[in-house]
Structure 1
Amino acid sequence: MATSKSFGLSAWVLCVLSFVSCTWAFYIPGYSVTRYNDNDPIPLLVNKIFSDYTQLQYAYFDLPFVCPPSGKTHGGSPFGSGQSISLNLGEVLRGDRIMTSDFELTMGNDVECQALCTREVSRSNVKWARNLIKENYVIEWIVDNLPGATSFVTVDRSRKYYASGFKLGYRDISPATGQSRYFINNHFTIVIRWRAAPEGGKVINGFEVYPKSVTAAGRKEGSCPADVHAEREGLGLYIAPDESKLKEKYAGLSYIPHDDDEDDGATLKIPYTYSVYFREEPKVEWANRWDLYFTNQEEGSMTHWLAIVNSLIISTVLGVTVFVIWSRTVQGDIKGRGDGAMDDRKVKGQSRRKRSGDKKNEGLLDNADVENDADMSSDDEPLEDTSGWKLLHGDVFRVPEYSGLLAPLVGSGMQLLFMATGLLSLSCLGVLNPSFRGGFVSVGMGLFVFAGLFSGYFSGRLYKTFGGTTWRKNTLITALLFPGLSFLLVLILNLFVWAQASSTAIPFSTLIGLLLLWLLIQVPLVYLGSWAGYVRAKPWEHPLKTNAIARQIPPQPWYLISPAGPILTGLVPFAVLFIELLFVFKNLWQDKSGYYYVFGFLSVVSAVLIVTVIEVTVIATYSQLCSENYHWWWQSFLTGGSSAFWIFAYCIWYYMFKLHVTGFVSTLLFFSYSFLACTVYFLLTGTVGFLAAYAFVRRVYSAIKVD
């Protein structure tokens, strides 16, 4: 016992440390304010480039055509440029690679033009830059925890809003040849919006970047052009071929190809410059500075409300159906019996009396309790005076097949349900917000690890209810099943992303950290919860005992013997979630520069979704029992999670008709992440459906008296 207590204490300490490590960057807008005085240095951090057309991201300083860090210190900072900033787990997993830069910003001091560097780029790197521009990559910089933004105005020019990031370059069509030309943005006009703080000093409430392509002609080496803001020709990403070398290489050929993949020593010089302007913006409060990133999403509020109304209508209709089933059908059947006797011998006697014309109600058999399974009659005859669901009183709680797998799946679903509830609650309270960069993933990981206690407890107790004996084996399956499959999938995907030298790849050290977090913290917590659920807690008691011999199931309707039944029932929860999925998918896959913030709407829709899953599963379970089919355990789990099938089908449709994803690796990432998300959804809603059906069956059959 002492060993168990010390083990449990150690597991709790490790859990708390894990959770604290994941949430150290706790941040609520309005409390962690950074104030600057005039002439104070403002660090500008560079992060990465990303695109809405691909899932591959790249660290900014990994690009061979931008200015590399010089290593010099700026503004009294002890760190030189190129120094990596400490990131939380969520930032690493989302592909952030934040580093200090050589940009010099001083509060209140405008800079007309400042040269940064001149970078010589090889032919192959020029080609890569063209490909990145073709795929609409944008750059992300950070000042005072705000991402550098491209500024837009609404159609009626009444409001301004931001889109995170700014373009790496642009493409146009040559009027002479009709071919595409690519230009790289090599001058950046940085605008810092500020307002006076009541406590003194100035706070930053806006960070805008206006990129521009400026030709290298007409300027001295390492200097700015004469008038950087005048209309000038852009810097094209093109290196003229060396005709003499090509003729020598392809001597004797009538056609001489221009090979951009082979470096012949030719380079393109790209001069980088920047300007800095500070402008007062008194209309925007510091605590509301992120609102500008959301203004363009406000037009969808009406659609969100329509989604909620649609969800409520569907849930209400199903709720009325469940109410009718319970109040009229189930209770009516029970009360209609008058005596509630369910003994097979009694029923057979009643059937014989009916056939002889004696319709008088007979009394109950005295003290004919259902004893052990050996005392139960195995000779079932058709019950002429009872409903179909009451005929299953001796089989409805029969242990299902593969119960050793069902218990771990339910445990994993409870773990995910706790995590999702915690994330939505913290998001609605404002704890998880865009200013807490990577916080959603970090806190989600912490909640998932902590919820290993719930996973082990529910899995262990359900396993004990099923009569299992090897509870340690069940614990091991619960602890390794879903996390193990997820980790294996991420590891395989990482091999493809590593080959692309993308920052989307999870660093090896982070993978080792995740592995240790799983094996050294989550697995012990699952063990502790399973020990409490199997050893310390009692199994869930059933109101009826089970016959020794299973009842023969009559021929079933097609929807109960084919996968089409649960799949069709999944359409109803999918209809509840469909409209909100439009916003979630647009934010995740199409507008990765934006931020999903309407967690209040999502929470309401999620709550209605859970209620709908419960209602659908109860109706489906009752229909199955009325067909004298007692295999409801797995059927309820599949029915509850069946809408995951439609969500994945929606992912396929979205990929084909809404996205412009290019490349095999990006496509692989899209479908792999979609499959993983649908698996999480399936386990979560499947568990909700199973528990709802379990509670419904226990409640229904507890109202029956068996003689």
Structure 2
Amino acid sequence: MPSAVRSLPHLLAAVHLLLLLVSFADASESDHKYQAEDPVTLWVNKVGPYNNPQETYNYYSLPFCQPSENPSHKWGGLGEVLGGNELIDSQIEIKFKRNVEKSTICTIELDAAKVELFTDAIESSYWFEFFIDDLPLWGFIGETDKNNENKHLLFTHKNIIVRYNGNQIIHVNLTQESPKLLEVGKTLDMTYSISWMPINVTFARRFDVYLDYPFFEHQIHWFSIFNSFMMVIFLTGLVSMILMRTLRNDYAKYAREDDDLETLERDVNEESGWKLVHGDVFRPPRNLVLLSAVVGIGTQLATLVLLVIVLAIVGMLYIGRGAIATTFIVCYALTSFISGYISGGLYSRNGGKNWIKAMILTASLFPFLCFGIGLILNTVAIFYRSLAAIPFGTMVVVFILWAFISFPLALLGTVVGRNWSGSPNNPCRVKTIPRPIPEKKWYLTPSVVSLMGGLLPFGSIFIEMYFVFTSFWNYKVYYVYGFMLLVFLILIIVTICVTIVGTYFLLNAENYHWQWTSFFSAASTAVYVYLYSIYYYHVKTKMSGFFQTSFYFGYTLMFCLGLGILCGAVGYLGSTLFVRRIYRNIKCD
């Protein structure tokens, strides 16, 4: 079905989403309760190469049994559409609790074109996805003849086993039988059978069968959390001990009497260069508009991630198709006030005058970065005629969310932030003439400090990245959001500690350009995550082809941009508190 034709139903479904805001896991078109002989719909969704999760196509792009004209569609929420789902009624007759012996769906007459399509699909390990009562079923199209690799077999019989408890469907399972050789001119009978079996499992626990407990709750996962937690304790203790002891000594030196001036100057020049830049350390940073925007966006993203994780823990959002994506998009729009507030306050405190420019950049920078990457990927998907192509109607709804919710809230936040920020009130007065920055050893330069700053934060989330990547790219349902919450909090703490240490070393080297350095020092975590994604692609997956490669690295780039901005904002805010704290305790003439 062409994308333009599909866009209107998507638009209507997404507008409905706007009214409901968030579609939780237990929301559906029915109450999931059936009476005997009630019709049960088998929805066909998509097909695609097993090794390429994002390369999916309409189920009827292959010459399977076609339903009658105008089959009904099931349009989900915004996240489901963005996930490339298109559920179509298979029109296979299924009645609640009625067993069906082997019954014919249709007869396929194989010609050369159909044989070629099925053969290519089998060689590429095509899989398909069905849904019954919002429960997924998966299977492969066919298999290669074990005795002759040049011959391919198509599965012609689908045996569906449905387990129920009272008037509710609990589990569904699909097995395929009767593989038939693909030959031009041959006629194949496509058949199915339905078996209903009672089971003593409650409806609330019916999704547990899809959760891979041995994988996500493996001992190595627990060990990684413990290891990261110990890193936090060690790092925070080390930072507190070293910095507090060093700063205490620095304060003692600066508090000496004037008759020991010569010794004081020698000690300051040799060990304590951070006080020498007190007249420049609060100088407004370069590109203040951009820094204000990214710090505001990063603070919003940090709040957003925390909010979505908590909602996922409370509401089990992993059960609903696209529920996580829907929640993320809607919550991003609703939390835009935070980015405007932080950005407006930061811009105003540093003497910025063009606050409208800062507000527009804050409201549009990250969405338009994602839109630019998404537009490129969407062009690729349209060229391949994949379900991953986002319909025009969905784009309109996302734009409406941004234009009528996100942008106004960012504007309101900016106005409030400017009015509540107050005067700069810096501990030290900024001198008129900037102090020259002396040359230091290579490891004290801002670029090196920035690159090294991301190593420890990346190390704290390294193991969790493997589980996140595996769940997203290898068909596993990620459900351990309690682990993710702990790892996220650990990441925040480690990022703040590492950035503070880097800022102290930089100031001690008499370099007062700490604002951007602290941001990039924390944001460099995303660089290491992206490098890890390259390793993961080549070693841990069997992806291939331009379509999947572009989607893998495009989505990963989008994720790393958000992670980098988030960590950078956290690092900058932590360094700001540290800098204001240490200069508050010295006498600035």
- Within the alignment, does 1:118 sit opposite 2:107 as a pair? yes
Q: Which amino acid aligns with 2:193?
A: S
In the TM superposition, 1:207-606 aligns within 5 A as 207-212=172-177, 214=178, 234-239=179-184, 269-282=187-200, 284-295=201-212, 297=214, 300-338=217-255, 351=261, 354=262, 383=268, 387-434=272-319, 436-561=320-445, 563-589=447-473, 591-592=474-475, 594-606=476-488
Question: Cα distance, 1:474 vs. partner?
Answer: 1.1
1:133 pairs with one of 115, 122, 133: 122
Question: Cα distance, 1:684 vs. partner?
Answer: 0.5
1:65 pairs with one of 63, 66, 77: 63
Tell me the distance in 2 between the aligned counterparts of 1:290 and 1:337.
Answer: 65
Tell me the distance in 1 between the aligned counterparts of 2:213 and 2:577.
Answer: 45
Distance 1:462-1:539 versus aligned 2 partners, 3 A rule: farther
Aligned to 1:145: 134
1:184 pairs with one of 141, 146, 154: 154
Aligned to 2:144: 171
Question: Cα distance, 1:536 vs. partner?
Answer: 4.7
Aligned to 2:81: 92
Aligned to 2:47: 49
In 2, are the aligned partners of 1:637 and 1:686 still within 8 Å (CA)? yes
Q: Which amino acid aligns with 2:529?
A: I
Distance 1:696-1:179 versus aligned 2 partners, 3 A rule: same
Describe the superposition over 1:210-239 as per-residue Cα deviations: whole angstroms up to 9, x where unpaired.
Answer: 112x3xxxxxxxxxxxxxxxxxxx322333
Question: Cα distance, 1:407 vs. partner?
Answer: 0.8
Tell me the distance in 1 between the aligned counterparts of 2:213 and 2:242.
Answer: 46
Q: Which amino acid aligns with 1:274?
A: Y
SS in 1 for 2:434: coil
Aligned to 1:106: 95
In 2, are the aligned partners of 1:36 and 1:203 still within 8 Å (CA)? yes
Aligned to 1:6: none
Tell me the distance in 2 between the aligned counterparts of 1:203 and 1:523.
Answer: 44
Comparing 417-426 with 58-67, greater Cα deviation is found at 58-67
Describe the superposition over 1:519-552 as per-residue Cα deviations: whole angstroms up to 9, x where unpaired.
Answer: 3332222111111112454255321111111112
Question: Cα distance, 1:131 vs. partner?
Answer: 2.3
Question: Cα distance, 1:614 vs. partner?
Answer: 0.7
In 1, are the aligned partners of 2:440 and 2:509 still within 8 Å (CA)? yes
SS in 2 for 1:67: coil
Q: Which amino acid aligns with 1:105?
A: I
Describe the superposition over 1:9-52 as per-residue Cα deviations: whole angstroms up to 9, x where unpaired.
Answer: xxxxxxxx99854644223499x852222222222212112444
Tell me the distance in 2 between the aligned counterparts of 1:405 and 1:122.
Answer: 61
Aligned to 2:582: 700
Describe the superposition over 1:611-640 as per-residue Cα deviations: whole angstroms up to 9, x where unpaired.
Answer: 111111111111111111111100000111
Question: Cα distance, 1:53 vs. partner?
Answer: 1.3
Aligned to 1:612: 494
Tell me the distance in 2 between the aligned counterparts of 1:381 and 1:408.
Answer: 41
Question: Cα distance, 1:451 vs. partner?
Answer: 1.6
Question: Cα distance, 1:383 vs. partner?
Answer: 4.7
Q: Which amino acid aligns with 1:86?
A: W
Tell me the distance in 1 between the aligned counterparts of 2:584 and 2:188.
Answer: 79
Tell me the distance in 2 between the aligned counterparts of 1:122 and 1:538.
Answer: 77
Question: Cα distance, 1:132 vs. partner?
Answer: 2.3
Tell me the distance in 1 between the aligned counterparts of 2:581 and 2:546.
Answer: 52
Tell me the distance in 2 between the aligned counterparts of 1:269 and 1:507.
Answer: 37
Aligned to 2:4: none
Q: Which amino acid aligns with 2:141?
A: L
Comparing 537-546 with 318-327, greater Cα deviation is found at 537-546
Describe the superposition over 1:252-306 as per-residue Cα deviations: whole angstroms up to 9, x where unpaired.
Answer: xxxxxxxxxxxxxxx6544211000001112x22211111111454564312211
- Within the alignment, does 1:629 sit opposite 2:485 as a pair? no
Comparing 299-308 with 531-540, greater Cα deviation is found at 531-540
SS in 2 for 1:464: helix
Describe the superposition over 1:649-695 as per-residue Cα deviations: whole angstroms up to 9, x where unpaired.
Answer: 11111111121112112111111111111111000011100100011
Runs of at least 5 residues in structure 2 that lack an aligned partner in the other structure: 1-14
Question: Between Structure 1 and Structure 2, whose CA radius of gyration is higher?
Answer: 1
Describe the superposition over 1:78-135 as per-residue Cα deviations: whole angstroms up to 9, x where unpaired.
Answer: xxx7211121000000000012221111122111111111234542343232222222
In 1, are the aligned partners of 2:318 and 2:478 still within 8 Å (CA)? no
Aligned to 1:367: none
Q: Which amino acid aligns with 2:541?
A: L
Question: Cα distance, 1:494 vs. partner?
Answer: 0.7
Q: Which amino acid aligns with 2:170?
A: N
Q: Which amino acid aligns with 1:626?
A: N
- Within the alignment, does 1:205 sit opposite 2:198 as a pair? no
Describe the superposition over 1:417-457 as per-residue Cα deviations: whole angstroms up to 9, x where unpaired.
Answer: 121111111112134231x2211000100111112111111
Describe the superposition over 1:353-408 as per-residue Cα deviations: whole angstroms up to 9, x where unpaired.
Answer: x38xxx9xxxxxxxxxxxxxxxxxxxx99955982111121111111111221111
Question: Cα distance, 1:137 vs. partner?
Answer: 2.4
Tell me the distance in 1 between the aligned counterparts of 2:47 and 2:242.
Answer: 56
SS in 2 for 1:274: strand
Tell me the distance in 1 between the aligned counterparts of 2:567 and 2:191.
Answer: 54
Aligned to 2:5: none
Describe the superposition over 1:43-67 as per-residue Cα deviations: whole angstroms up to 9, x where unpaired.
Answer: 2212112444114444544323111
Q: Which amino acid aligns with 1:392?
A: V
- Within the alignment, does 1:659 sit opposite 2:541 as a pair? yes
Tell me the distance in 2 between the aligned counterparts of 1:39 and 1:502.
Answer: 36
Question: Cα distance, 1:608 vs. partner?
Answer: 0.8
Aligned to 2:11: none
In 2, are the aligned partners of 1:130 and 1:182 still within 8 Å (CA)? yes
In 2, are the aligned partners of 1:61 and 1:69 still within 8 Å (CA)? no
Q: Which amino acid aligns with 2:176?
A: P
Tell me the distance in 2 between the aligned counterparts of 1:67 and 1:27.
Answer: 32
SS in 2 for 1:456: helix
Tell me the distance in 2 between the aligned counterparts of 1:560 and 1:445.
Answer: 40
SS in 2 for 1:396: coil
Tell me the distance in 2 between the aligned counterparts of 1:299 and 1:649.
Answer: 23
Tell me the distance in 1 between the aligned counterparts of 2:35 and 2:270.
Answer: 87
Comparing 437-446 with 563-572, greater Cα deviation is found at 563-572
In 2, are the aligned partners of 1:59 and 1:97 still within 8 Å (CA)? no
In 1, are the aligned partners of 2:309 and 2:485 still within 8 Å (CA)? yes
Q: Which amino acid aligns with 2:286?
A: E
Supply the RMSD in Å over aligned alpha carbons: 2.5
Tell me the distance in 2 between the aligned counterparts of 1:527 and 1:29.
Answer: 33
Aligned to 1:375: none
Distance 1:682-1:208 versus aligned 2 partners, 3 A rule: same
In the TM superposition, 1:7-18 aligns within 5 A as none
Tell me the distance in 2 between the aligned counterparts of 1:179 and 1:493.
Answer: 35
Q: Which amino acid aligns with 1:193?
A: R
Tell me the distance in 2 between the aligned counterparts of 1:350 and 1:640.
Answer: 40
In 2, are the aligned partners of 1:29 and 1:287 still within 8 Å (CA)? no
Q: Which amino acid aligns with 1:237?
A: L
Q: Which has the higher helix share?
A: 2
SS in 2 for 1:585: helix
